[in-house]
Amino acid sequence: MNPVKTVDVYTCREILRIRSGVEQCSSPDGSGEYYWAELLRDCAESDALEATWAHYRTTSRSLLPADVLRRVAEFASPRLSAAEGRGGRLLLDRALEGWDPDRLVRWKRVFDTEVGRGAHVDDARDVADGVVAPGAHPAMAGDAAGEPVA
């Protein structure tokens, strides 16, 4: 299982393409996508695209990055609530298996990051298990936890 794909410049180009098509206006110059990518970088790609379409289904106002962030938060809230209890049980299972505290902390960080990015609980569990597995490459642990990789 791979970590959830987050918003990047290419996703923002697609959002801006949708925006220009729906609003019948020209696309902004090439720098706009980098601005949007910086603001939306922690969102799941699928959530950002769904938020874009949801905006245009409910309003005719021009789409702004804040609109996408607000709608992504609406999508993520139920997912985070559902994952909270299940994540605690999964963490307890790993503690009962004899995992050391450092490994448990790393697992929880990766799990929470993946759920926050839009992963289903089972997918987040698989990614976290793979990242903190004995012998996992340290670079993957940093990347999956949303931390810079040296």
Per residue, the 3-state secondary structure of 34-45, as one string, reads HHHHHHHCCCEH
95-142: per-residue pLDDT in tens?
999 999 999 999 999 998 888 777 888 889 999 999 998 766 555 545
Measured CA to CA, the distance from residue 122 to residue 48 in angstroms comes to 21
Whose tokens are 């695209």? That residue is 49
Q: pTM here?
A: 0.60
Residue 99 resides in a domain: yes
**Whole-number mean pLDDT of the chain?**
81
Residue 3 resides in a domain: no
Residue 84 belongs to domain spanning: 9-144
Residue 1 resides in a domain: no
Residue 149 resides in a domain: no
Query: Number of folded domains in the chain?
Result: 1
Residue 150 resides in a domain: no
Are the C-beta atoms of 125 and 113 separated by less than 8 Å? no
Q: At what angle do helices 32-40 and 65-96 cross, to 10 degrees?
A: 40
Residue 140 resides in a domain: yes
